[in-house]
Structure 1
Amino acid sequence: MEGDRIVTDQAGRFVVITGANSGIGLEATRQLSERGADVLMACRNEAKAAAAQQQLGSSRVSVARLDLADQSSIARFAHELTASGRRIDVLVNNAGVMGLDETRTNDGFEGQFGTNHLGHFALTARLLPLLSDAGRVVTVSSIAHRQGRVDLDDPHFERRTYNRWDAYSQSKLANLSFALELDRRLKSAGRRQISIGAHPGIASTALGRDGSSFINSLTRRMGWLTFRSSESGSDPLVRGSTDRDLRGGEYLGPRFLAFGSTVVEKPSSRARDERLARDLWSLSEQATGLTFAL
């Protein structure tokens, strides 16, 4: 899994990428569509998504509105996609928010946990019936998952003091825990579908810019060693979407955590904690009111 690889022909495949209008999501859209895949950009801001679509200039790229901070928006998106009758070959759970001031989603969830984790949990649950027999789910985590702790008793910071970076790292640990648990459940159900975790290192994207003080501080301290281009940052997503050697349960990211070629990394011990994963899964089902068709 080391070194750069040429992406094989993706003609005939249908890929859904959340947060695809900028950064690594946009770059992954470009690379996959150039290799022949049909890509649906699922984005909160339709105007920005349409501008990105025009920038790409590909008839294989389409746009749909999806707000992961709103469970009703997720339901509408899934309903429309189901009605289209199209099977999904790859779902890339890429969209995210980072370093927010304390905020709540439309459904009352803490903003980062509710968007980054519960939003994608609900989306995956609703779209799993559309996943092709050998389809895959790629969920984007972060190196921040290594500092993360999921507080199962208070995931929404209703009793503990809110800290934006604790909330962010919690959501990213939840992303990776979910990706690994989903793969275990797919295998237990005898499915050929797989689930993979990925992280871009620290890429120079809109998400990073939204993190302002934290990211800017990191820039001053580490400079060029830290930030990767969107093209480099998207490589783990593209590899996760296309590499036929993957068997599921891998965590892909750049060598040395923040930069370098894509390799299979070892997740943190908390991300590998199967009891935590099961408890988080139950919490997520209760929060969203959804179960997986497995």
Structure 2
Amino acid sequence: MSEKWTTANIPDQHGRVAVVTGANTGLGYETAKALAERGASVVLAVRDVAKGERAAAGMTGDVTVQALDLTSLDSVRTAAAALRSRFDRLDLLINNAGVMYTPKQTTQDGFELQFGTNHLGHFALTGLLLDLMLPVPGSRVVTVSSTGHRIRAAIHFDDLQWERSYSRVGAYGQSKLANLMFTYELQRRLAAHGTTAAHGTTAAHGATAALAAHPGMSSTELARNTPAALRLPLTWLTPLITQPPAMGALPTLRAATDPSALGGQYYGPSGRNEIKGHPRLVTSSPQSHEVPVQQRLWTVSEALTGVKFPVAQSQPTSPATAR
């Protein structure tokens, strides 16, 4: 696999439909732009429609906008219904939108903001759209995680919404760990459903596959809530340790389009500590592969969102198999 993978490696996307959340700026914008340039019909699923329209105007190709507020399950259901009325198939769902290090806040449904937006909103959206993907050869769900899934990260089942105490960093870590656990459990469910092989068959040749990616450190608006104690040092370091959004989007694009990609794989930058560089396969924390925790999180997520997936629970497997 080439370590210098770029947008030039994206296969022709004509005839494919892609939904990208949070696509009006940053990583989502660059992801959507690259897919549209390669011929995909791209939907920018964004909270602010006016900003989405301005973003679409800066792209070449078939680009439309769909209102989606991941902090509201009503909005997620409305957006899913609108997409289902417009399309009878979906090839790519890129769960990209997210918030990071926010002060303690809740979503419209009362969930902790980072967990509710980054995980539960995307969990619900995926479940509501997945049956549009299951019959489509080469369809993929790509969820954007972060190296933050290793930092003060755990799934706090005794206090998922951080009601007893709150840590910006811990809550972000929980949400990004949840993104990976969701991906791995979804992939096993897809394999059990018979839509794609668990191992050894490329995502391009199965029907639907679940993959994850992370951007390393990219200079985007996501970092606007970084705690003050970290902001000043990072101001000096930013030019040295970050890469532009177009580079940060490459792991997502590779997970979404590389014909050799396998379901359950995780892509990130190839550089030291996965901070920046061209995309390659990377590994996630041992904790992210804990199958019983993945399955418990799935059950809790279905209960919290009220969304049931059209794929049955996977059978428990050993951590080595789950990887």
TM range (shorter): over 0.9
Give the total of aligned pairs. Answer: 292
Aligned to 2:161: 156
Q: Distance in 1 between matches of 2:28 and 2:21?
A: 7
TM-superposition CA deviations, 1:168-202 (whole Å, max 9, x none): 11100001110111111101111131000100001
Give the CA deviation at 1:222: 3.6
Give the CA deviation at 1:210: 3.8
Aligned to 1:272: 289
Give the CA deviation at 1:86: 3.0
Q: Distance in 1 between matches of 2:230 and 2:62?
A: 34
Q: Distance in 1 between matches of 2:302 and 2:219?
A: 34
Answer whether contact 1:10 1:35 (CA < 8 A) is retained. yes
Alignment RMSD (CA, Å): 1.4
Aligned to 2:72: 70
Partner SS for 1:87? coil
Partner SS for 1:137? strand
Aligned to 2:183: 179
4+ residue stretches of structure 1 with deviation over 6 A? none
Residue type of the alignment partner of 2:222: L
Give the CA deviation at 1:206: 1.3
Paired residues for 1:72-87 under 5 Å: 72-87=74-89
Q: Distance in 2 between matches of 1:143 and 1:194?
A: 22
Paired residues for 1:182-261 under 5 Å: 182-192=186-196, 193-211=208-226, 213=228, 216-217=231-232, 219-220=234-235, 222-255=237-270, 256=272, 257-261=274-278
Answer whether contact 1:209 1:215 (CA < 8 A) is retained. no
Residue type of the alignment partner of 1:228: Q
Aligned to 1:42: 45
Give the CA deviation at 1:133: 3.8
Answer whether contact 2:19 2:42 (CA < 8 A) is retained. yes
CA shift in 2, pair 1:229/1:108, >3 Å: same
CA shift in 2, pair 1:85/1:117, >3 Å: same
Answer whether contact 2:37 2:61 (CA < 8 A) is retained. no
- Determine which structure has the larger strand proportion and give its number: 1
Answer whether contact 1:40 1:63 (CA < 8 A) is retained. yes
Aligned to 2:34: 31
Answer whether contact 1:219 1:227 (CA < 8 A) is retained. no
Aligned to 1:102: 104
Residue type of the alignment partner of 1:117: H
Q: Distance in 1 between matches of 2:242 and 2:33?
A: 20
CA shift in 2, pair 1:34/1:218, >3 Å: farther
Q: Distance in 2 between matches of 1:135 and 1:13?
A: 9
Give the CA deviation at 1:137: 0.2
Partner SS for 1:101? coil
CA shift in 2, pair 1:77/1:245, >3 Å: same
Q: Distance in 2 between matches of 1:39 and 1:109?
A: 29
Identity %: 42
Q: Distance in 2 between matches of 1:218 and 1:87?
A: 47
Q: Distance in 1 between matches of 2:13 and 2:57?
A: 21
Give the CA deviation at 1:151: 0.3
Q: TM-score, normalised by structure 2?
A: 0.87
Residue type of the alignment partner of 1:179: T
Answer whether contact 1:208 1:215 (CA < 8 A) is retained. no
Residue type of the alignment partner of 1:73: S
Give 5+ residue unaligned stretches, structure 1: none
